[in-house]
Chains A and B, each alone.
Chain A
Amino acid sequence: DAGVIQSPRHEVTEMGQEVTLRCKPISGHNSLFWYRQTMMRGLELLIYFNNNVPIDDSGMPEDRFSAKMPNASFSTLKIQPSEPRDSAVYFCASSFTSPGANVLTFGAGSRLTVL
């Protein structure tokens, strides 16, 4: 398996532009997570899905952020309009939903810079 695939790896955009980050989880995993990492706030959970259904989106900063998971193999995180304070590394992670110590497997992250 190729692991969790995120794109783009790097994105530089101007304030006010729409940004879409993409994630392909590991095949067979049925939980998907979006995290944001910054120096000031560390790793923050934005939203997670179980079986394509959003379970907890309380970490989404504001209405400018939205996430979708139309099927088991694809998810997007969209920021519209983007602001400089959205600059961060965004991680997608996936895992099984089953009893046990289910490990999250992370993608390589998408580094977003908003000018």
Chain B
Amino acid sequence: AQTVTQSQPEMSVQEAETVTLSCTYDTSESDYYLFWYKQPPSRQMILVIRQEAYKQQNATENRFSVNFQKAAKSFSLKISDSQLGDAAMYFCAYRIANNDMRFGAGTRLTVKP
């Protein structure tokens, strides 16, 4: 079974600083997709970034980037120039094409002004 592990229940960062959230996963598949979702207090699940496993280049979306290490089965999220609006729960997720999406337990990010 595929599992997703987020080992940091909580993280905090100073506004304008950089923070990295960790995620590891377990799979025997070679073709899959990885995602980071953000859940603010409104509880809406919002896609932050996605990565195809067959792509070696790390995905980037503005201040958000990932460090994808396929051999190590690691998929961390880096948030640069943190803003107060980045405060939320962050979920790492794994999906094989057309199957269900599996989520980690989440990391609660606090941004200090």
Contacts and interface: CB of A to CB of B under 8 A. Distances in A.
B44 A103 contact: no
A13 B41 CA distance: 24
Q: How large is the interface on B (under 10, 10 to 19, 20 to 34, 35 or more residues)?
A: 20 to 34
B45 A42 contact: no
- Which residue, of B51, B99, B100, has the highest number of chain A Cβ atoms within 10 A? B100
Interface stretch (B13-21, B70-78, B80-88, B90-98): B90-98
A8 B5 CA distance: 32
A31 B98 contact: yes
A36 to B, nearest CB: 11
Contacts of A31: 98
B97 A99 contact: yes
A112 interface: no
B10 to A, nearest CB: 14
Interface stretch (A17-25, A43-51, A64-72, A73-81): A43-51
Contacts of A33: 100-101
A68 B98 CA distance: 19
Contact of B98 (A42, A93, A102, A111): A102
Interface in A10-64: 31, 33, 42-43, 45, 48, 50, 56
Interface string A71-98: 0000000000000000001010100011
B103 A97 contact: no
Interface in B13-66: 33, 35, 42-45, 47, 50-52
Q: Which 5 A-B pairs have the closest CB atoms?
A: A106-B45, A43-B103, A101-B33, A42-B105, A101-B50
Interface of A: 31, 33, 42-43, 45, 48, 50, 56, 89, 91, 93, 97-106, 108-109, 111
Interface of B: 33, 35, 42-45, 47, 50-52, 91, 95, 97-106
